[in-house]
Homo-oligomer: A and B are copies of this chain.
Amino acid sequence: MLGVKIAGTGWYLPERRVSNAFFEDRYHIPARWIERATGVRERRYVDGETTVQMGVAAARRALDAADLRVEDLDAIVGASTGPQQAIPCTSALLQRELAAPEGQSACFDVNATCLSFLFALQNVAHLVAAGIYQRVLIFSSEISSRALNPAERESAVLLGDAAAAVVVTKSEPLEASAYWHAHFATYSSGADLTQLVGGGTLHHPNDPSTTPEMNLFHMQGAAVFKQASQLLPPFVDTFFSQLPWERQHIEAVIPHQASRHGLEILTSRLGFTESQVVWNLAERGNTIAASIPLTLAEAVYCGRIKRGDRLLLIGSGAGLTLGAIALTY
């Protein structure tokens, strides 16, 4: 257990709301099928906002919530799948746009697709506990609307744009807030199930053999669901065997909003009740790495999560990787 807390949370959602009727009109995907198959009624798409601008908006709210100023940050950690540009890392661009004093913070990015935020939180929790950094901003900002694949209806209708951020500090003496445990495991037999094969050295954008299709998101939804639903129950059993809590002690399960079926597994097969699991899939869609911190930030804002609550942040991501973190908010 580490005496480390999430001191503040914030988020940003683009103004532009995209309903299922948009997909029915444009791609002839029935709106009712979308809601039934994915659980998504609406998602947001950027309308000019950049990855960094969204991250800054979320960061300002997280700093306000933590009652801290940009001058207080000594590390800024990006935790998104898609960078704003290949070089430099998105966190350095965010330092500038946030007007955080240069030279006072260390900036680096962590990427594990949908689990980027959880890995960043694990790393940051240990760095803060060790006294290396005092006040760290972690932000996830995703613009998946740039890489949607209309030919793959299930993923195209699922994804949404959003940003979310948290500030991590040490807990005060006598505060209940603490970081308890994390566990991650990658099953790379599933590496091809969720892919975007462009955007790197294998299919460079300037390579004449790189096709536009390679630069779009691909997910074999049913296969991902099958692999994740087989692996998650023993993963969660192991996780709780390493934690001095039982499932019923968790006040809020904050899942990656992968899909309706993914969230239903969490509730039924993993031994949680419906009232424990927080959903925002219907209005936000799957916002990739931003999904877990966005769900957390909105739940805190709405009073669904209060100081002292025991939280389980959990999800699966491309890799295929499973991850979970238990903390007292």
Contacts and interface: CB of A to CB of B under 8 A. Distances in A.
A246 to B, nearest CB: 23
A20 B168 CA distance: 49
A193 to B, nearest CB: 9
A169 to B, nearest CB: 17
B146 A201 contact: yes
A217 B198 CA distance: 17
Number of copies: 2
B84 A200 contact: yes
A167 to B, nearest CB: 17
Interface residues of A, number: 77
A249 B105 CA distance: 28
B87 A81 contact: yes
B86 A191 contact: no
Given A89-B111, A126-B130, A205-B215, A102 B321 contact: no
Given A76-B186, A123-B127, A109 B110 contact: yes
Contact of A107 (B86, B87, B123, B319): B319
A210 B205 contact: yes
A217 B96 CA distance: 21
A111 B116 CA distance: 12
A17 interface: no
A206 interface: yes
B86 A186 contact: no
A274 to B, nearest CB: 29
A195 interface: yes
A87 B194 contact: yes
Given A113-B87, A201-B146, A92 B186 contact: yes
A123 B83 CA distance: 20
26 contacts: A51-B200, A51-B201, A76-B186, A82-B201, A83-B111, A83-B199, A84-B202, A85-B198, A86-B147, A88-B191, A88-B195, A88-B319, A89-B111, A89-B112, A92-B188, A92-B318, A92-B321, A96-B191, A102-B186, A102-B189, A103-B185, A104-B185, A109-B112, A122-B127, A123-B126, A132-B182
Given A89-B112, A126-B127, A129-B130, 16 more contacts: A51-B200, A83-B201, A86-B147, A87-B113, A87-B194, A87-B195, A90-B200, A103-B186, A103-B231, A105-B185, A106-B323, A108-B119, A109-B112, A147-B204, A199-B199, A205-B212
